[in-house]
Structure 1
Amino acid sequence: MRLRAVIFDVDGTLVDSQLDILAAMSRAFEAEGLRAPRRESVLGIVGLSLDVAIPMLAPESDAQACSRMVQGYKDAYAEMRRAQGADVSSPMYSGAREALMRLQVQDDILIGVATGKSRRGLDKLIEAHELEGIFVSRQVADDHPSKPNPSMLFQAMRELGVEAGDCVMIGDTSFDMEMARAAGMRFIGVTWGYHDTARLADSDIVIDDFAQLDAALETIWSESLV
Structure 2
Amino acid sequence: MKALLFDLDWTLVDIQGFTDYGTALEDVRELVGEWADVGAPDTSWDAPARICMEALVALAGDSRWQALSDAIERHELAAVPQSTPMTGLELLIDTVSDTPVAVVTLMGPEAARLALATHEVPFTTVVGRLHDLRPKPAPDQIIEACRLLGVPPSDTTMIGDSTWDMEAANAAGAGFIGITNHRPSEFAPGTVTVADLTELSHHLASSELRHR
Alignment TM-score, normalising by the size of structure 2: 0.74
Q: 1:150 aligns with which of 126, 139, 154?
A: 139
Query: CA contact under 8 A between 2:22 and 2:48: conserved in structure 1?
Result: no
- Structure 2 stretches lacking a partner, 5+ long: 34-44
Task: Give the 3-state SS of the residue equivalent to 1:141 in structure 2.
Answer: coil
User: What is the CA-CA distance between 1:66 and the residue it aligns to?
Assistant: 9.3
Give 1:122 deviation, angstroms. Answer: 1.2
Per-residue CA shift, 1:59-107, capped at 9, x if unaligned? xxxx9999877554333343x34xxxx3x42211111122022211x3x
Structure 2 match to 1:113:
103
**Aligned Cα root-mean-square deviation (Å):** 3.3
1:173-192 aligned at under 5 Å gives the runs 173-192=162-181
What letter matches 1:211 in structure 2?
A: T
- Identity of aligned pairs, percent? 26
Q: Which residue of 2 aligns with 1:99?
A: 92
**Of residues 162, 185, 207 in structure 1, which corresponds to 2:151?**
162
SS at match of 1:221: coil
Q: Cα 1:45–1:181, aligned 2, differ >3 Å: closer, same or farther?
A: farther
Q: Which residue of 1 aligns with 2:37?
A: none
Q: 1:59 corresponds to which residue?
A: none
Q: What displacement does 1:26 show?
A: 1.7
Equivalent residue for 1:52?
57
- Report the TM-score, using the length of structure 1 for normalisation: 0.70
Consecutive unaligned residues of structure 1, counting only runs of 5 or more, are: 56-62
Length, aligned pairs only = 193
1:50·1:70 contact (CA, 8 Å) conserved in 2?
no
Provide the C-alpha distance between the structure 2 equivalents of 1:113 and 1:66, rounded to a whole number of angstroms: 22
Q: What is the aligned counterpart of 1:27 among 23, 26, 39?
A: 23
Note if 1:127 corresponds to 2:120.
Answer: no
Contact 2:10 2:161 in 1 (8 A): yes
> In structure 1, the residue corresponding to 2:96 is in which secondary structure?
helix
Instruction: Rate the CA distance shift 1:219–1:183 in 2: closer, same or farther, 3 A.
Output: farther
Q: Which has more helix, going by share of residues?
A: 1
Determine the C-alpha separation between the residues in 1 that align with 2:92 and 2:65: 38
More displaced 10-residue stretch of structure 1: 211-220 or 66-75: 66-75
* 3-state DSSP of counterpart to 1:112: strand
Give the drift of 1:206: 0.5
Matches of 2:64 and 2:204, distance apart in 1: 44
Q: Which amino acid aligns with 2:102?
A: G
